[in-house]
C-alpha cells in the first residue's frame, strides 16, 4: 500500500471508429505517463472506439477489432510501471458492455461495467449495452479506487456503494458534450458526490467534435470541502498530472494546476470553431468555401472558418444579382480583406435570368413571388457546390437557428452545405458573438486579432436581398421578439398559453409555432452543426415531420 499517487488524465480527441488512430493516441499518452512517472493513467469513455459509435456497435467485426485493439494496448503496459484504466467496449456472458479494463504489466487485473446507461437527450446506450452491477473498487498500488463511468455519477447510489465498499478515491472517465453552462453543471454534480461521500473525485472529459456534438474537455479534480484542486484546458487537448497524498483525513492533492475555464462569452465561439475544424478534418477535407453575402451570418461563419483553418484555407464567394446592394458588395469585400481570405465575385445574373426565360411559359402571367426569389438562392447554391466539387473544399452553410426554426431558408439553396456552424445559434446570439470576436482573439485561433467583421455588417438591418428594399422584418417579427418566442417554444417546451401569459401576442405566437412545425421537413434535410443548447434541432429535438397536433391553449 502506498500513501502517494501520481495520476495522469489524458484529455484527448479520439475519432469515432478510428481504432488505429485512437490506439496511437493512447500509446502516446501511455509513453507520456511513463515519462511523468505516473502511477495511473486514465483515458476517457470508450476511448478506442470514440464516443459515441452509435450503430457501429451492431457491426460484429467492429466489436472484434475494438476488443483486439484494447488487448494490444493492455500488452503495451508491460514494463511501464503505469496502471492503465482503459474505457472500452467489452463482452461478457451478460452481453455487450460499456466498461473499463484495468491493466498492469501487460495483463488485465480487473474489469468494471457501467451501471447507469443514459437513455435520453443525445445518447441511447440502452439500445446497445447491457447494464452492469454495482461494482467494487479496484486495488491499484494497494489503494482501493472506485471507477464510476460518466452517467454513473448522476445517480448517487453508485458512488455511495463504491465508498461503502472501501473506495478512497474516485476516477471518472466521461464523454460529456458541451452546451451552454454545461461546465458548471458538471462541477455542481461532482461537488455533490464528493460532499456526500467525502472522498475526492477526478473527472476526465474528452475533447473534440463528433458530428453535431462538441466535447469541451475542462477535466478537473475536486476534494471534500468544495476544493477544486486541478482543472484542464477547455476545448483543447491536455495531459493533466496531479500528485495525491494520503493523510489522516484521506487523500488530498499535493500538486495540481488550475487552468481557468473559458468564459461564457467565449465558449460558444470555441465550441463552433472546434466542431467545425474536427468535422472538416475528420471527414478528410482541408479547405472550406462559403458564400459571403455582406450579412452578419456569413461574416461570422467566415471568421469562424479562418479561426479554425487559417485564412489560406478559406475561400469566400460573393454571388450578386440585381437586388444585391452596393453596401453589401462593399461589406463583403471589407470582411474578406479583414480576414485575409481568397475572395471571388461570381454574378448569378445571367443564369437566373435564363432560368426565368425558360420558365416563363410555365409561370405564365402569375405575379412574382417566392418562386423567383428561391431561384436566386438555388442558383447561388449551384455555383457554390460547383466550386466545392471542382476545388475539393467543403461547402459551409450559414443559416442561424432563428431562420432554421421558422423555415426562413431555401432548401437546396442557401441551405446547401456540408456543415453549419450557426445551426444552433439564435440570431441575436450571432450579433453578440460577432461583437465579442471583434474585441477578442479566442484561444487556439488561427485567425487575426482585432476587428474581423466590419461594424457596418453588425449595424445594418438583415436582409436576404431577394427583392427590392427587402428586410427580414418584412416577413418576421423583430429578432429579439422572435428569438424569445423560439426559446420558449423550443428550449422550454412551453404551451402557447404560457407564452402569451409572458406578454406576447397570441396571434404572433400561434404563427411562429405553425412556422416551426411546418419547417421540420427542411430541418430534417439540413446540414449538421454543433449542438450548443439542450434542444438543438435534430440531435436534441426530434419532432415528426407529419404532425397533426394543435396547441389550443391561450385562445
Q: Which residue has the cell 426559446?
A: 487
Q: Are 64 and 31 in contact (CB under 8 A)?
A: no
pLDDT value for 465: 64
- The pLDDT > 70 percentage for the chain reads 99
Integer Cα distance of 543 and 389 in angstroms: 33
Known active-site residue 125: no
List 114, 187, 401, 423, catalytic entry? 114
Kindly report whether the global pTM for this prediction surpasses the value 0.85.
yes
pLDDT value for 122: 83
Q: Are 470 and 464 in contact (CB under 8 A)?
A: yes
The mean pLDDT value for 467-477 works out to: 74
For residue 475, pLDDT over 80 is answered with no
Helical (H) or strand (E) element with 221:
strand 220-223
Residue scoring higher pLDDT (2 or 453):
453
Identify the weakest region by mean pLDDT among 36-40, 233-237, 329-333, 473-477: 473-477
* Number of DSSP helices (H) and strands (E) in the chain, helices first: 16, 21
Task: Kindly report, residue by residue over 136-175, the tens digit of the pLDDT.
Answer: 999 999 999 999 999 999 999 999 999 999 999 999 999 9
Superfamily name with CATH number, domain 267-472? HUPs (3.40.50.620)
pLDDT value for 2: 84
DSSP 96-117: EEEEEEEEETTEEEEEEE--SP
The mean pLDDT value for 447-451 works out to: 96
Q: Are 157 and 197 in contact (CB under 8 A)?
A: no
Known active-site residue 520: no
Residue 398 assigned as binding residue: yes
3-state helix, strand, coil in the chain (%, to 5): 40, 20, 40
Residue 364 assigned as binding residue: no
For residue 468, pLDDT over 80 is answered with no
Q: Which sequence spans correspond to the domains of the chain?
A: 4-255, 267-472
Which among 103, 95, 175, 173 is positioned nearest to 138, based on CA atoms?
103
Q: Are 128 and 57 in contact (CB under 8 A)?
A: yes
Integer Cα distance of 132 and 240 in angstroms: 29
pLDDT value for 471: 72
Known active-site residue 249: no
Tell me which DSSP letter residue 491 carries: I
Residue 294 assigned as binding residue: yes
3-state secondary structure of 333: helix
Q: Are 29 and 77 in contact (CB under 8 A)?
A: no
List 15, 45, 465, 531, catalytic entry? 45
Phi, psi of 238 (to 5 degrees): -155, 150
Residue 445 assigned as binding residue: no
Q: What cell was used for 320?
A: 450578386
Beta-bridge partners for 500: none
Return the beta strands (E) in 365-417 as ranges. Answer: 394-395
pLDDT value for 476: 84
Q: Which CATH architecture has domain 4-255?
A: 4-Layer Sandwich (3.60)
Which among 227, 192, 221, 185 is positioned nearest to 204, based on CA atoms?
221
Residue 451 assigned as binding residue: no
Residue 427 assigned as binding residue: no
Task: Kindly report, residue by residue over 321-373, the tens digit of the pLDDT.
Answer: 998 899 999 999 999 999 999 999 999 999 999 999 999 999 999 999 999 99
Residue 132 assigned as binding residue: no
Q: Are 430 and 422 in contact (CB under 8 A)?
A: yes
3-state secondary structure of 160: helix
List 104, 150, 223, 253, catalytic entry? 150
Q: Chain centroid to CA 330: how far?
A: 33
> Which residues are CB-neighbours of 386 under 8 A, at least 6 positions away?
none
Q: Which residue has the cell 420558365?
A: 359
53 band by pLDDT with thresholds 50, 70 and 90: very high
For residue 497, pLDDT over 90 is answered with yes
- CA atoms within 13 A of residue 182's CA, in its CB half-sphere: 23
> Residue length, the chain?
555
Amino acid at each position: 500500500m502506498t500513501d502517494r499517487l501520481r495520476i495522469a488524465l489524458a484529455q484527448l480527441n479520439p475519432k469515432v471508429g478510428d481504432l488505429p488512430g485512437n490506439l496511437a493516441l493512447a500509446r502516446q499518452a501511455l509513453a507520456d505517463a511513463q515519462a511523468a512517472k505516473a502511477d495511473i493513467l486514465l483515458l476517457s469513455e470508450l476511448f478506442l472506439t470514440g464516443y459515441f459509435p452509435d450503430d457501429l456497435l451492431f457491426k460484429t467485426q467492429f466489436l472484434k477489432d475494438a476488443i483486439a485493439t484494447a488487448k494490444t494496448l493492455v500488452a503495451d503496459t508491460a514494463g511501464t510501471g503505469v496502471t492503465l484504466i482503459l474505457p472500452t467496449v467489452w463482452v461478457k456472458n451478460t452481453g455487450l458492455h460499456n466498461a473499463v479494463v484495468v491493466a498492469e504489466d501487460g495483463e488485465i487485473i480487473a474489469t468494471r461495467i457501467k451501471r447507469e446507461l443514459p437513455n435520453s437527450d443525445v445518447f441511447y446506450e440502452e439500445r446497445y449495452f447491457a447494464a452492469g452491477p454495482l461494482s467494487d473498487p479496484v486495488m491499484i498500488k494497494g489503494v482501493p479506487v472506485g471507477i464510476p463511468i460518466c452517467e454513473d455519477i448522476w445517480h448517487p447510489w453508485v458512488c455511495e456503494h463504491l465508498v461503502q465498499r472501501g473506495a478512497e478515491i474516485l476516477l471518472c472517465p466521461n464523454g460529456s458534450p458541451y452546451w451552454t453552462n454545461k461546465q458548471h453543471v458538471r462541477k455542481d454534480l461532482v461537488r455533490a458526490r464528493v460532499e456526500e461521500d467525502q472522498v475526492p473525485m477526478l473527472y476526465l472529459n474528452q475533447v473534440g467534435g463528433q458530428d453535431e456534438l462538441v466535447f469541451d474537455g475542462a477535466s478537473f479534480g475536486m476534494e471534500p470541502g468544495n476544493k477544486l484542486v486541478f482543472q484542464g484546458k477547455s476545448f483543447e487537448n491536455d495531459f493533466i498530472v496531479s500528485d495525491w497524498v494520503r493523510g489522516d483525513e484521506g487523500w488530498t492533492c499535493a500538486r495540481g494546476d488550475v487552468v481557468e475555464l473559458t468564459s461564457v462569452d467565449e465558449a460558444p465561439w470555441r465550441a463552433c470553431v472546434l466542431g467545425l475544424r474536427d468535422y472538416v478534418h475528420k471527414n478528410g477535407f482541408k479547405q472550406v468555401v462559403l458564400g459571403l453575402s455582406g450579412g452578419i451570418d456569413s461574416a461570422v461563419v467566415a471568421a469562424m472558418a479562418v479561426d479554425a483553418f487559417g485564412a489560406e484555407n478559406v475561400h469566400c464567394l460573393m454571388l450578386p444579382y440585381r437586388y444585391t446592394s452596393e453596401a453589401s458588395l462593399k461589406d463583403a469585400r471589407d470582411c474578406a480583406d479583414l480576414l485575409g481570405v481568397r475572395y471571388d465575385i461570381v454574378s448569378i445574373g445571367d443564369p437566373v435570368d435564363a432560368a426565368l426565360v425558360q420558365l416563363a411559359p410555365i409561370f405564365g402571367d402569375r405575379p412574382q413571388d417566392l418562386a423567383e426569389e428561391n431561384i436566386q438562392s438555388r442558383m447561388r447554391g449551384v455555383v457554390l457546390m460547383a466550386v466545392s466539387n471542382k476545388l475539393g473544399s467543403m461547402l459551409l452553410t450559414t443559416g442561424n437557428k432563428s431562420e432554421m426554426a421558422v423555415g426562413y431558408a431555401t432548401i437546396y439553396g442557401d441551405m446547401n452545405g456540408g456543415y453549419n456552424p450557426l445551426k444552433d445559434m439564435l440570431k441575436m446570439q450571432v450579433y453578440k458573438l460577432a461583437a465579442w470576436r471583434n474585441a477578442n482573439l479566442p484561444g487556439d485561433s488561427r485567425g487575426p486579432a482585432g476587428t474581423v467583421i466590419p461594424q457596418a455588417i453588425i449595424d445594418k438591418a438583415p436582409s436576404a436581398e431577394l427583392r427590392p428594399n427587402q428586410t427580414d422584418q418584412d416577413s418576421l417579427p423583430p429578432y429579439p421578439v422572435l428569438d424569445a418566442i423560439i426559446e420558449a417554444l423550443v428550449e422550454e417546451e412551453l404551451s402557447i398559453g404560457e407564452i402569451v401569459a409572458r406578454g406576447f401576442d397570441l396571434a404572433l405566437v400561434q404563427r411562429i409555432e405553425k412556422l416551426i412545425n411546418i419547417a421540420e421537413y427542411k430541418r430534417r434535410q439540413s446540414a449538421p452543426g454543433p449542438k450548443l443548447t439542450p434542444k438543438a434541432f435534430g440531435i436534441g429535438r426530434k419532432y415528426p415531420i407529419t404532425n397533426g397536433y394543435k396547441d389550443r391553449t391561450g385562445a
